Amino acid sequence: MTKSLLQLVMAAARHVATETNGDLEGILATLEGEPVYDFYPVGRRLSGMNNTRRYYEHFVANAMPRIVDVEQHGEWIGDVGVVQEFTLSLEHPHAGETTSHRIIAILTFGEERLSGERMYSDEVLFRALLGPLWDELDEIPG
């Protein structure tokens, strides 16, 4: 592994650790430029540092408290990012139920830090993670 690849992998590890701890400024410090978050198969996109900040503000304040379990199934490192597969269990207080969601997340590398993520899961999970930002997402071109 080259030094620059190792640095990017370490940025991904810091991102996961700060996200787990709900450290908003720490999360944002692992990102560079104007991050892009793509959500598949729904084909929606969130982009820009301002929107990324809004996403993580909602995530830390509203989504994290609803996460009741996370089970990681695997992690892989490649030239373009770190891939993680896990199951996330989410409480839905108004419905009185907990749902499980399989997700594959690719933490994409930029030049020195992360450039965003590509996530594969279902719309129920994405709406919970994004909250009011869901209605502001762009369609992924192409």
Tens of pLDDT, residues 31-56: 999 999 999 999 999 999 999 999 99
| Residues 137, 139, 142: CA angle, nearest 5 degrees | 155
Task: Provide the residue ranges of all domains of the chain, joining segments of one domain with +.
Answer: 3-139
How many angstroms separate the CA atoms of 142 and 135, rounded? Answer: 20
Please state the pTM of the whole predicted model: 0.93
| pLDDT of the residue at 142 | 82
Span 3-139: which CATH code?
3.10.450.50
**What are 65-101's pLDDT values in tens digits?**
999 999 999 999 999 999 999 999 999 877 789 999 9
